[in-house]
Amino acid sequence: MNDGRAIAERVTGSRVLGTGSALPRTVVTNAELAEKVDTSDEWITARTGIRQRHIAGEDETTSTLAIAAARAALADAGVEASSIGLIVLATATPDNTFPATATKVQAALGCQGGIAFDVAAVCSGFLYALATADSLLKTGMANRALVIGAETFSRILDWEDRTTCVLFGDGAGAVVLEAPSGESDGAGILGTRLHADGDQHDLLYVDGGPSSTQTVGHVRMRGPEVFRHAVVNLAEVLREVLEDTGVSVSDLDWIVPHQANARILDATARKLGIAPEKVIVTVHAHANTSAASVPLALDLARKDGRIKAGDLVMLEAMGGGFTWGASLIRM
């Protein structure tokens, strides 16, 4: 079996120059949550693997977290904000209905004049944003991009619904992408697949919105059905990307999945025959941070030395809509 390098080196997309992340100051453990909600540490841990989550304070918003993650990614990449011509920010919890939260990030970083917009695909948002940015960079619309996943999901939770409020947290993650050049060492985005199935929109949704209720609303979810769809869809899209790129499961160095639930991570890995030690897991510490979860986990695994230059890394996620996708990257 080829190791993926020969094929991957022939077709490369935008390169990842750096990563960054940001988390709210306040950490809420399961035990602390159980003081306010009819639940327990044992109940949450057994069903989700979550032990704590970060919750945004009054002075912390989706934009402030996104800005902090973006600055960290720029510092990691060693590039100036002025070199960024494109910002794609994935979020389901924008600061305002409009303008796009990405424009606030642009203003804070001082890189005005380029492109800045938000993407709404919930937990798959970062994968959608990454693919969008990669495509725009390939067309020459910009040379460098910031791709950000940022959420303050705590602001749309029903804190009396223990089936949902225990699952989510707040945070942000970002990557700096650079357009592919004529000369390639094989590093970059090798393949991406995205999907959506609007027939399932009512299995995971927010029961509010400007046009429907004129309210923000709260997260509603039919958990067991979401679980079943997630395991099947994630396994299928991962296989699609492997087939597109001519890479086998055994060639992968790391899987960075959306951190929704430890049981989904375990079930998907088993379905694909992926060794558990290859799966980056942060759900115990961050809970489900929606669009932020994949870039948060990616940054953590780079910073602690697990993910290194040259590694083959598969990102994958599924969220409300349903939306789902996967992206294979040579770091």
Residue 36: Cβ-neighbour burial (10 angstroms; 0-12, 13-18, 19+): exposed
Catalytic residue (one of 54, 111, 123, 233): 123
pLDDT reading at 3 higher than 80: no
For 88, 113, 114, 121, 135, the CA distances from 142, given in Å and listed in that order, are 12, 11, 8, 23, 10
Model confidence over 218-275: pLDDT tens digits?
999 999 999 999 999 999 999 999 999 999 999 999 999 999 999 999 999 999 999 9
pLDDT band at residue 112 under the 50/70/90 scheme: confident
Of 69, 53, 14, nearest to 299 (Cα)? 69
Tokens standing for residue 216: 């923000």
Query: What pLDDT is stored for residue 11 in this prediction?
Result: 54
Catalytic residue (one of 30, 233, 261, 288): 288
Query: Rounded to two decimals, what is the model's pTM?
Result: 0.96
Model confidence over 38-76: pLDDT tens digits?
999 999 999 999 999 999 999 999 999 999 999 999 999
Query: What pLDDT is stored for residue 182 in this prediction?
Result: 72
258 flagged as catalytic = yes
Query: What pLDDT is stored for residue 7 in this prediction?
Result: 42
Q: How far apart are CA 224 and CA 239, in angstroms?
A: 23
What one-letter code names the amino acid at 183?
E
286 flagged as catalytic = no
Model confidence over 16-37: pLDDT tens digits?
999 999 999 999 999 999 999 9
Catalytic residue (one of 54, 218, 258, 286): 258
pLDDT reading at 116 higher than 70: yes
Domains of the chain, earliest start first: 1-331 (3.40.47.10)
Query: What pLDDT is stored for residue 181 in this prediction?
Result: 84
90-94, 179-183, 281-285: the lowest-pLDDT one: 179-183
